[in-house]
Amino acid sequence: MSILIGDHAPDFELVNQFGENVKLSDFRGKKPVVMVFYPLSFSGICTGELCELRDNFADFDNKDVELLAISVDSKFVQKQFADTEGYKFSVLADFWPHGAVAKLYDVFLEEAGISNRATFVIDKDGILIAKFVTAPGQARSLDEYRKALSLVG
C-alpha cells in the first residue's frame, strides 16, 4: 500500500557510505528529512540528479533538512559513488534484504530489481508532507524539490 501525505513515514535503518547506521526515527523531533530513492549509482540520470542536489545543497542546508539518497547498491558502491561525485549527504545502501526499504515505501520495481525515482519529504514529527515519483528514465526537477522544501516549517 502506498504511503499518503499525512501518514507517518515508516521507520527503517540502513548503512551509509561510511558504514554508519542511519535510522529515520533518529531525526524525529530534530529535523525534517528528504529521502531520494534512485535506481542505481553511477548511472547517467541518477548521477545527474544527485549532482544537481549536491550543487544546490544550500537549499536543503538552509532549511536544516537531512538529505538521504537511497539505492539498492552496496555500501561499497555507495562509498565510491559519494567519493567520486563529492556528495556531502548520506548515500544509503538498500542492499540487503534487497530493496527492503524501497518496498516499504512502495517504490521497488520488482521486474528490474531496483527502486523507482521517488522523493519523500518528512517533517520533524515523522509525517509525510510531500512526495513525487517520476517514470523510469525521467529525471526529477529541482523545482519540485524547491516546492516541497517550501512546505518544511
Kindly give the confidence (pLDDT) of every residue in the chain, 153 residues in length, as a single tens digit, with 9 standing for 90 and above: 689 999 999 999 999 999 999 999 999 999 999 999 999 999 999 999 999 999 999 999 999 999 999 999 999 999 999 999 999 999 999 999 999 999 999 999 999 999 999 999 999 999 999 999 998 789 999 999 999 999 997
Parallel, antiparallel or unpaired: strands 21-23 and 13-15: antiparallel
Task: Give this prediction's pTM.
Answer: 0.96
C-alpha cell at 48: 545527474
Per the domain annotation, does 89 fall within a domain? Answer: yes
Residue 7 maps to a domain:
no
Number of domains within the chain? 1
Does residue 93 lie within any of the structural domains? Answer: yes
Percentages of the chain per state (helix, strand, coil), in multiples of 5:
30, 25, 45
On whether residue 25 sits in a domain, the answer given is: no
Of residues 46, 50, 92, 148, which has the active-site annotation? 46
Domain hosting 78: range is 13-17+31-149
The CATH number of residue 49's host domain is 3.40.30.10
Expressed in angstroms, the distance from the first to the final Cα of the chain is 27
Q: Active site includes 46?
A: yes
